[in-house]
Structure 1
Amino acid sequence: MPLPNLDSVGSILAIVIVFGVLVFVHELGHFLLAKRAGILCREFALGMGPKIFRVKRGETEYTLRLLPIGGLVRMAGEDPEMDMLKPHMEIGVERDAVGKVTHILLDGPGTGSARAISGTVVSFDLEHALNLTLDIGGEQRTFSVHPQAQLVKDGQEVQIAPLNRQFKGKTVSQRFWAIFAGPAANFILAFLLFVAIGLIYGVPKDVPYLGEVRAGGPAAQAGLLQGDKVISIEGKPVASWKEIVEIVSQSPGKELTFEYERSGQRHTVPVKVGKDENNVGKIMVTNSLTYAPGEVLKYGASSTYDFTMMILKSLGMLFTGSVGINDLSGPVGIFKMTGEFAQQGIAILMKWAAVLSINLGLFNLLPLPALDGGRLAFLAVEALRGRPIDPHKEGMVHFLGFAFLMLLILVVTWNDLQRFFFQ
């Protein structure tokens, strides 16, 4: 089922869609589990760089950023928004009907409403006690602050986050699942993509029945038809499709005698085996397919597992030195391969997207700073020692890890450019 009229523009569109879906699902995993834990999610973003579209729904701003790579879920407590309010600032506050502060106006006095008051900040606690003390004309007054109060600066509102709404204010278990949910969502997506492939295109069965017999091929010329059951080849009984493939692939150019069953009757026919460019025997026939839900689900699970093990093996080869950094592909190489697979058909593109999703999930689980796996490693240490690691030290480790990650991406990108454009 090839994509119609897929040119370079279509390839770019396929790349954007595939990576957009992978990133969206990854960030959605983080977002849903963070919301479930009660964490205030300030932003759900697709892409990196400047914002080109934004819309706010509830407590969260949903944004689309300029560069179609990556994404983020910005959780309360992970940014310095509370540093906007400082002692000795001249501010205004607006209160609700019961006197709780709903807006803290950092640019100065309020709008002149009956409940607006201005003064100098003496002290505040926006994480625990939720109060704010102002010096108003030489008199200190303490106000209760609404847990969803807004800090307002230059016309932009930022909701405060009491400790129980911040990432750091949650239990180790809640934080673990909020982080782990991103990579987990990528594995779930891969499974669903494989299931979709099985439902649409069928799941190959390892049984000795012929599927599609290609017109003009050796099997068709010998009179074999779809649905025929192969009993034996050259007198050797076969019980699976794998055995048929093994015998045929090792017999390029030979004539093999097939015994098969059709409509309850057994027949014998000679088949002249062809060969491909690698001198592998071919008779131009596929194995039979099934669309049974149970088999499709099993196919989805086994394919996800098999590709996961294959990628883990490749990662192991990288760490043992069997594979060098020059053999790695970066964003350029992955984008190029995605465009090529898109031109080969939807089924191939879906399978490639599933493999990329597994790659993204596994890569993020590596215990490296700045990755989800690195954050999970810090949580594991916190659970063992019974107290969190100093946030500044953890932040520095993640910063250094991010810098290393960017350097690695630059190196593999340069490798891709040399491989695809300078050779």
Structure 2
Amino acid sequence: MEIVNTILTILSGLLMLTLLVLVHEGGHFFVGKTCGIRIDEFAVGFGPKLLSREKGGIRYSVRALPLGGFVQFYGEEEEVDAAYEPRAFNNRPIWQRALTIAAGPVMNILFALLLTVAVLVGYGDYVPQIASVEPGMPAYAAGLQEGDRIVMLNGKRIDFSMEFDAAQISSSEHITIGVEREDGYHEFELDTIQNEETGGYRIGITYTEYARRRFGFFEAIGLSFKWLWLIIKEMFTALGAAIFGGKGISELSGPVGTITIVGEAVRYGFETILRMAALLSINLGIMNILPFPALDGGRLLFLGIEKLRGKPIDRKVESYINLVGLALLFLLMIALTYQDIARLFS
């Protein structure tokens, strides 16, 4: 039975990653085709071809390693005479090439927003709920009640559980807290009491329970952008800690770790699957837009340099730089995979 669960975990993870790759590469494909760029191949995966079919002059293929994909544009890596083939990638205007390259990450971001709207409308999200109020404490005197849903703290609206920071209470001598009840919204101002044991401050509540809060469609659209911004901030905080905080890659996950996490998410139901897909999609979109060689952001950087110079960088030089970037990314994937496997066995 354990073997079956492991196989299902792997297949679930691969299926979700494949879907996100299709969204990403589909963005490149459709925008490139709309801009009149000639496409030679649309591939899901890398390595040897497992399935291949040609239609409309484009080869569609599924390859052996389902951890990525690509759209092969004619004339992307080499110079082609514009008179001979005006549809070659490097013969198209810079703005068309830039749109085509940016379309992959943008599609991942839009897909993440769509999934987030679906989650917020269909399931909602959690906000901290007061589980108990201690008699004689500031919260009790102010009128806070068991079951109150905390939706504002010190002027900051709380729409998602990730926004609630209990440290704001324990580090403040005076707080403003807003709650929702059956009869509407209530706001309280409290003076906290110092905890002699910890040196921090308290108001006499516990908030171990979380209340589910649902959203309307149009409200969910606006909040999906807020959720996106929160995730991006967390991503760059983790990235900064890895690079500048001395944590290295210990906080990161590679393909094996990602597949394992996705497989675990499947066991918790469809809501968790949607949340995980949105999270991975936004990660894929943002990481790809970083100005690093071999990534979409690196290619956009080269186009920006071409626009400023009035002519492109030598294609061989660009290819070498991208090759170095690809090699570094490959080494990072090896290190992360080793770390993922070590975690599994530990």
Normalised to the residue count of structure 2, the TM-score between the two structures is 0.76
1:181 to 103, 115, 136: 103
Q: How far did residue 263 of structure 1 move?
A: 8.3
Question: Which residue in the other structure is 1:359 paired with?
Answer: 283
SS in 2 for 1:356: helix
Change (3 A) 1:240 1:418: closer
- Measure the CA separation in 2 of the matches of 1:182 and 1:30: 5
User: Equivalent residue for 1:310?
Assistant: 234
Letter in 2 for 1:309: K
Distance across 1 between alignment mates of 2:125 and 2:182: 23
Report the Cα offset of residue 42 of structure 1.
1.0
Number of equivalent positions: 296
Change (3 A) 1:203 1:326: closer
Confirm or deny that 1:236 pairs with 2:160. Answer: no
Residue 14 of structure 1: aligned partner: 12
| Consecutive unaligned residues in structure 1, runs of 5 or more | 1-5, 83-125, 131-161, 211-217, 220-231, 251-259, 265-279
Say which one has the larger Rg. Answer: 1
Aligned equivalent of 1:345, options 248, 269, 284? 269
> Which amino acid in the other structure matches residue 330 of structure 2?
M
Aligned to 2:118: 196
| Counterpart-to-counterpart distance in 1, 2:5 and 2:304 | 48
Give the 3-state SS of the residue equivalent to 1:69 in structure 2: strand
Mapped partners of 1:129, 1:166: distance in 2: 10
By how many angstroms is 1:283 displaced?
6.5
Partner residue, 2:336: 412
* 1:298-337 correspondence runs (5 A): 298-337=222-261
Deviation at residue 40 of structure 1 after TM alignment: 0.6
Q: Is the 8 A contact 1:11 1:339 kept in 2?
A: yes
Between Structure 1 and Structure 2, which shows a larger proportion of helix residues?
2
1:328–1:77 CA distance, 2 compared to 1 (3 A): same
Percent identical pairs in the alignment equals 34
Higher relative contact order (CA 8 A, sep 6+): 2
Mapped partners of 1:393, 1:31: distance in 2: 26
Matched residues in 2 for 1:7 and 1:297: separation? 36
What TM-score, normalized by structure 1, do the two folds share?
0.63
- For 1:395-410, what aligned pairs fall within 5 Å after superposition? 395-410=319-334
Aligned to 2:201: none
Deviations 1:321-344 (A, max 9, x none): 442134432111111111112212
Supply the distance in 2 between the matched residues of 1:304 and 1:243 (Cα, whole angstroms): 20
Q: CA deviation at 1:71?
A: 0.2
* Distance in structure 2 (CA, Å) of the matches to 1:167 and 1:64: 23
1:400 partner amino acid: V
Secondary structure at the residue paired with 2:304?
Answer: helix
Q: What is the identity, as a one-letter code, of the residue corresponding to 1:167?
A: F
**Unaligned runs of at least 5 residues, structure 2:** 133-137, 154-163, 171-179, 185-204
After superposition, give the CA deviation of every residue in 1:157-185 in whole Å (9 maximum; x if it has no partner).
xxxxx1x1111001111111111111111
- Using a 3 Å threshold, how does the CA distance of structure 1 residues 166 and 282 change in structure 2: closer, same or farther? same
- 4+ long deviations beyond 3 Å: 126-130, 203-206, 237-240, 242-247, 260-264, 280-284
| 1:71 to 2:53 alignment | no
The answer to which structure has the higher strand fraction is 1
RMSD after superposition:
3.2
Structure 2: distance between partners of 1:384 and 1:330:
36
Cα distance between partner residues in 1 of 2:82 and 2:212:
65
